[in-house]
């Protein structure tokens, strides 16, 4: 199948939504957890976390357009400046998926979806206890995007992962921790390591058939 931009615009809305959300391939599956200034905990699923830099260590994610009543994740981050990013594992995919529900601010998804919460070293935002990789983040900047979404940029303040999940080069084996990826809005994939290649140097290029 081959479609032009005009043909995409004329296609059925939900069909186009599913296509464009899955066309970028497998995306990281994360739960982003926050705490309001009143101590109300929130956790929601995101598939838009991206690497921005290693020195200094920075990550970004996309917050959807805010309505007249701002979404809890965005509002809590703006108010407190802290949040956590937690990899989703196979053991709690279903619970994680349903955190996309629009609950009242005073009702925590941790409680409603029975997701175990964890506090680490008095970090200002909660973590997901069963997440294999936990990242504590501090807000650096919020950048409005042309589609009314917002790019949230944060600094990595702390990380937590199993000792056996990292090799001597500092590379995490995401398959060993049974992490998952997302395609589109609601389809989940397991992660299997295929191979690793060395850092690419022009004078060390191999021959290709």
The percentage of the chain sitting over the pLDDT mark of 70, rounded to a whole number, equals 99
The confidence score (pLDDT) of residue 69 equals 62
Specify whether the backbone of 170 is left (phi greater than 0), alpha (psi in -120 to 50) or beta. left
The confidence score (pLDDT) of residue 56 equals 95
How far is 169 from 75, CA to CA, in rounded Å?
A: 37
| Summary mean pLDDT of the chain | 92
Domains of the chain with bracketed CATH: 25-187 (2.30.110.10)
Whether 68 has a pLDDT exceeding 70, the answer reads no
Whether 77 has a pLDDT exceeding 90, the answer reads yes
Whether 96 has a pLDDT exceeding 80, the answer reads yes
The one-character DSSP state at 72 is H
Q: Please give the model's pTM, rounded to 2 decimal places.
A: 0.91
Summarize the chain as % helix, strand, coil (round to 5): 20, 35, 45
Nearest to 128, CA basis, from 46, 198, 185: 46
pLDDT digits (tens, 9 = 90+) for 131-180: 999 999 999 999 999 989 999 999 999 999 999 888 888 988 888 888 89
Taking residues 108-113, report their average pLDDT: 95
């Amino acid at each position: 199948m081959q479609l032009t931009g005009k043909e995409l615009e004329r296609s059925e809305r939900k069909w186009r939504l599913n296509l464009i959300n899955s066309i970028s391939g497998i995306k990281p599956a994360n739960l982003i957890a926050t705490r309001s200034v009143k101590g109300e905990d929130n956790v929601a699923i995101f598939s838009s976390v991206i690497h921005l830099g290693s020195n200094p260590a920075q990550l970004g994610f996309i917050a959807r357009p805010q309505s007249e009543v701002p979404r809890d994740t965005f509002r809590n981050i703006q108010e407190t400046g802290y949040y956590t990013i937690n990899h989703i594992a196979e053991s709690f995919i279903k619970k994680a998926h349903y955190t996309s529900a629009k609950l009242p601010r005073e009702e925590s998804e941790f409680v409603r979806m029975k997701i175990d919460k964890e506090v680490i070293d008095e970090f200002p935002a909660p973590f997901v206890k069963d997440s294999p990789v936990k990242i504590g983040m501090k807000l650096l900047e919020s950048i409005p995007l042309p589609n009314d979404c917002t790019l949230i940029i944060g600094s990595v303040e702390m990380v937590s992962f199993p000792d056996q999940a990292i090799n001597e080069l500092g590379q995490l084996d995401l398959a060993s921790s049974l992490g998952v990826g997302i395609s589109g809005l609601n389809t989940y994939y397991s992660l299997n390591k295929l191979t690793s290649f060395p850092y690419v140097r022009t004078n060390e290029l191999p021959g290709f058939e």
